[in-house]
Structure formats: C-alpha cells, structure tokens
Chains A and B, each alone.
Chain A
Amino acid sequence: MGSNVLHVLKGINFSVEEGELVAIMGSSGSGKSTLLNILGMLDLLDSGTYTLDGVPIVNLNETKAAKYRNKFLGFVFQSFNLINYKSALENVALPLYYQRIPRKEREEVAMQYLKKVGLSEWATHLPSELSGGQKQRVAIARALAAQPKVLLADEPTGALDSTTSYEVMQLIQEINDEGKTILVVTHEPDIANMCKRIVQLKDGVIIEDKKITQIRASDYV
C-alpha cells in the first residue's frame, strides 16, 4: 500500500461559502471521497492549501487533526458508523465527550439533538434496534452535537431506500436552512438536485461547478 503513489486529485480549486449546501458528484474513482476526506482531515494533502473558517490547515499531525475535526467538522457516513454497544443518546454525546464536556451537560445537549432529528423516544435504544433511516438520523444528530462549522456527508443515503433517503435529505435541508454549511458526496442525481450547488468531478479534476435551484425533499415525502 505505502509505496504505491496514486494521485487521485489533480488540481482542485474551489471554495464554499458559509451556509451553502454543496453536492459533490462523480463516478467512482473520480476522487470525490478523497476530496471529502481531505476536507475532513481524515486524509492528508500532498500539496496545496486548505483554509477552514479563516484558519490555514497546515502541519497537520494526528493530534492536531483530531482537535480540528472535533471543533470544526461533523461527519455523516454511508454506513452510519454508530458504535454498536452504545445507545443512541451515548452515540450522539460521544463528540462532546472528547470536548471534555461534563456528562450531565453532554446528555442534555445530545437529547436536544435527538429531539431535533425526531428520535428522542429512541434515546436508550442500541443501533441494532433502529432502522437504517433512524440510524442515519442518529448519525446526523451526532455530527451536529459538537456544533461544527461544516457537515461532511459521504453518501449519506447510499445504504437507504429512496423514501428513507428523501427523509434524510429533508433533515439535511432543514439543517442547512438554519445556516449550517453542508457538503454531500453522492452519485445519485436526485439527491444532488436537492442541494444548492453541484460540483462534478471526473478523474480528479472539477469538470462542472454550478449553482442550481434546490428541489425540496418534502415535495417527495
């Protein structure tokens, strides 16, 4: 693995304003996940600059990256990535744990976000007791709990059927309406059309970057 150098992204230049809802599209291997991982500081860039909220992200070691991730970024994954032995509430509270927030306060905040995604009644349930859509909503609540600057969603609807997908997208749109900046990686055009801007990637370069008229997910539900 280590000796194979593969340049996935070959010169990307783009910026996202606060409050945008951007879809990053492209076929598999186009570099869309890599782009998201670099933005999420889960992966390192070889060259170039990355500025987040006016802070240049440089000299990133693991500890520093972890702190930035905790402070600035919220992640939503295709496979939810909830911790299976923790209840919904505990999962949502986890980023706050790493912010050293006291337990009581942590649980209050987590409950607030579970309420926001409509799952307060499921707080004590384990992920295995939740449906796919519910799991993803818990994951979104978790991503929001630490009040990040940016929400990064990697194929958030990839493992869901279309009805559930639209429900999740509706939630994402609502969060965006409140001013949160969100980047969604997807290869589904209908999901992309629910964003406000679509960035098309192909072979590691941006081939199209356009603002669109948002389709409200609530129209489908």
Chain B
Amino acid sequence: MIFRKDTWIEILGSVSKNKARTTITVIGVLWGIFIYITLSGAAKGLDNGFEKQFERVAMNSMFAWAQQTSVPYDGFKTGRQLQLKLRDVTILKNKIPEIQFIAPRNARGVFGGETPMASRNQKSGTYNVYGDFPVLVKIATKDIYDGGRFLNEEDVQHARKVCVIGERTQKELFNSEEKPIGEFIKIGNSFFQVIGVHKYAQGGGFEDDGDIFIPFTTFKQIYNTSDNVSWMAIAAYDDADVIKVEKKVKKVLKEIHRVAPEDDQAFGSFNLGEIFNKVKGFSKGLTFLSLVVGVATIFAGVIGIGNILLISVKERTRELGVRRALGATPYEIKTQIILESVFLTLVSGVLGIILGALVLAGINALTKDVDDFPYTNPTVPIPYIIGALLIMVVLGTLIGLIPAQRAVSIKPIDALREE
C-alpha cells in the first residue's frame, strides 16, 4: 500500500487541501530540523575555523625558554638567571628521540629589547626581527609569496645579510608597484637584501605581519648574542606524546644547566598540542550540545505533528466514517493517517534542511573575509542529515500511531452520526 502511487496522491490531496493545518504542522518540524542543521553546521564551522587557525603550526609542537632558578642546587644560589645555548640543541636532539625538529630562535622586539628600526629610502618603520634557522618552517609553516623564498642553510652558513619581510613591511617600505625581491633595506645599521615576503597567517601566536626573519648567524653578529638562544621551537614526531616530550625537554635542560630536578621555575614551556586539544574539546562539546538541542527540538516538532493530527482526526471523524462506509478498511485508514504524519514530517524536514543550509551558506559568505573569526566552511555531515531524517520518519510513524488508532477506534456508525 505504501508503494502505490494512488496512496500518495490521496495523501497529497488530504494534506494539500487542509492548508492551515498542514502549514502549522509543517512549521513545527521545520523549525526543529532548521535549528538542528544550523546549530550543528555552525559548530562544525567553528571546529573547522579552529583547525584552520592551528594548521599553520605543527600540532605536536612546543616552545621552551630559560628563566631563573628557584631552588639552590649543586653549589649555585637560588635566583640564578639561566641562558639557553646553541649546543643545547644538539644535546636535546640526541637525548630525546621523539624530537623531529628543533629550531633555536632569537628575537629583537617581541620579548623585550628595543624594537629594531628598518628603513628604505625615505620610508621607515619598527619591526620585530628574528634570527632563525630554515628548519623553523617545518614547525611553523611560512607561506612565501611567488618569486621569493625563506632562509636556507647557505644563508646561515655564510651569515648572509638577507631577510624575509612581512606583508606589512613591504607595504610600509615599498611603493605598491615596486618588487621587493632583490632590493635592499636597512635594518639597524646594516643593509639586507630581501629574499622573500611572507604571507601573514592568523594563529601563529605572537608573530605578526611585519616580522622580519634573518639568518641566525647574521643575527648573532649584528646583536652580538654569541651562542645564546632566546627560546626553542620543538616539534615531536606525529606519534609522540608532546606532553611527555615537553617534560623530557625540561628534564634534559635541567641536567645541562645544573638545575635542581624539582625546580619548576627554571625553564618555561608552552605546549600547543595541549592548547589545541582544549580548543578541540570545546568545539567537540559544542557539536555534542548542538546535536542534543537539535534532536530535542526535532522531537518537540514531531510531538507537535502528533498533537495536530490528533485534533484533526477528531475534526475528520465524519470524513473517516464516510471513507469506512465506502469500504476503507481500518488498516487503510490507519495507514493513511500514519503516512500523512510521515509525509508531513519528511516534507517539513527537507524544507528545514534546505532552509538551514541556506542560512549556513549565508553565514559562510558573510564570514569569508573575516580572518580573526574562527569560522570556516560550516557543513553538516551527510550521515547526520540522514540520521535526522530517519529519526523523523520513525518518530513520525510512532506519533502517527496515536491518532491512527483513535481514528479507527470509533465505530463507523458513530463516526457518521458525529455532527
């Protein structure tokens, strides 16, 4: 009976000719699925947005820097200022096999020190300057505009006076029609040749769109930093637990610098994996919440359908009585009511999905160019949609059973007498 075309034409007739009832019924479930789609799509968009913000940085990476000791140890007083050295890098790499990449870094401007001035012709500005190794890009990706490149091993080896500048640096030091690659800018008292312009990407933490990167060795010469290292960026292998690596790194550093093993103040560290997991946990929680709220709203909508069908069955007692007098079996009457319920649920469900998708697309279009709002490509996975539709069909059937049973519980003769 369900697969007869006529059955559906009959149901279509019944629902399309009772417009007010149909509309009210449809709105209930439509609203439910709309909320469900919009919420879970938005949650997914946030999730994607967070992921995008973090995609520039290796998720299992960490940073470590030196501070002051807080425990006297090995003949040293408390409060000793510690300094990371370039040789620490090799020791760390040798002692901790989980480390994939390790990039020692120095900087002027960002963590204290005077922000260096850069100039070209009559234009000038102050920018943070970093002394880096090429391995940095393995830990925190740098997008370089066409025609340029990042620092390489040769640059470091020969302490070349080359630099990678930021988008903002380019904008402020060059005219819009000038090509910066190959040109020279003055940083402090030295001239540097520009080898690349990096694209600014949100999510890199303290870095910004004006940053200038120069070879570590060049930095050392200019600022006279000898083998000192401000901090280290470390990436662990994908299968390694970065939290354990963080602990090991600190342990090894304490050994090298003769610091008490229990001294928690001596070295600072920051673990992106942990932060990332917290953010992911938040968006997971949001997804779950939206799922619960959405399903609950669908549930409420379907109950609304049941409610209205129950009233409409009462209203249609006479019609159903006539149908039975004309030869409709109780099974046919029941099927009709249930199918009306399922049909209404499905139609409103599909409408709700379309409406929800439109709203999501709208939000996506509005937030496309907003970089600091973590919201990207809000989608609802197809299984979620199919799941929701299935839930609706099942609930629609179940809720339809009540008015259907009511419809056939009245004897046809009583139904016909009903005024």
A103 engages B6 (CB within 8 Å): yes
Interface residues of A in 50-98 (CB under 8 A from B): 62-63, 66-67, 69-71, 75, 77, 81-86, 90, 94-95, 97-98
A98 engages B6 (CB within 8 Å): no
**A63 CA / B327 CA spacing, docked (Å):** 9
Answer whether A97 and B6 are a contact pair too, CB < 8 Å, given A66-B324, A85-B13, A85-B17.
yes
Answer whether A81 and B329 are a contact pair too, CB < 8 Å, given A42-B413, A66-B324, A97-B10.
no
A85 engages B18 (CB within 8 Å): yes
Answer whether A69 and B6 are a contact pair too, CB < 8 Å, given A37-B413, A62-B408, A90-B13.
no
B325 engages A86 (CB within 8 Å): no
Answer whether A66 and B329 are a contact pair too, CB < 8 Å, given A85-B17, A103-B9.
yes
B326 within 8 A of partner (CB): yes
B322 engages A83 (CB within 8 Å): yes
A135 within 8 A of partner (CB): no
**A153 CA / B18 CA spacing, docked (Å):** 29
**A218 CA / B321 CA spacing, docked (Å):** 34
* CB-defined contacts of B159 to chain A, threshold 8 Å: none
Partner of A43, one of B4, B332, B413: B413
| Distance from B340 Cβ to chain A, minimum over Cβ atoms (Å) | 13
* CB-defined contacts of A75 to chain B, threshold 8 Å: 325-326
A142 within 8 A of partner (CB): yes
* CB-defined contacts of A40 to chain B, threshold 8 Å: 325
* CB-defined contacts of A85 to chain B, threshold 8 Å: 13-14, 17-18
| Distance from B415 Cβ to chain A, minimum over Cβ atoms (Å) | 9
B153 within 8 A of partner (CB): no
B282 within 8 A of partner (CB): no
B327 engages A67 (CB within 8 Å): yes
A63 engages B330 (CB within 8 Å): yes
* CB-defined contacts of B413 to chain A, threshold 8 Å: 37, 42-43
B318 engages A81 (CB within 8 Å): yes
Interface class of chain B by DSSP = helix
A62 engages B18 (CB within 8 Å): no
Contact string, A16-54, partner B, CB cutoff 8 A, digits 1/0? 000000000000000000000100101100000000000
A83 engages B319 (CB within 8 Å): yes
A42 engages B6 (CB within 8 Å): no
* CB-defined contacts of A150 to chain B, threshold 8 Å: none
A192 within 8 A of partner (CB): no
Chain B residue nearest in CB terms to A95: B326
Chain A residue nearest in CB terms to B419: A79
| Distance from B1 Cβ to chain A, minimum over Cβ atoms (Å) | 9
| Distance from B30 Cβ to chain A, minimum over Cβ atoms (Å) | 23
| Distance from A65 Cβ to chain B, minimum over Cβ atoms (Å) | 8
B328 engages A66 (CB within 8 Å): yes
A146 within 8 A of partner (CB): yes
A131 within 8 A of partner (CB): no
* CB-defined contacts of A98 to chain B, threshold 8 Å: 323, 326-329, 332
B416 within 8 A of partner (CB): yes
**A69 CA / B322 CA spacing, docked (Å):** 11
B196 within 8 A of partner (CB): no
**A138 CA / B137 CA spacing, docked (Å):** 85
A99 within 8 A of partner (CB): yes
A70 engages B327 (CB within 8 Å): yes
List 23 contacting pairs A-B, 8 Å CB cutoff, sorted by A: A42-B411, A42-B412, A43-B411, A43-B413, A62-B330, A66-B324, A66-B330, A66-B332, A67-B327, A69-B325, A75-B325, A83-B319, A85-B18, A86-B13, A95-B327, A97-B6, A98-B323, A98-B327, A98-B329, A98-B332, A103-B5, A142-B326, A146-B326
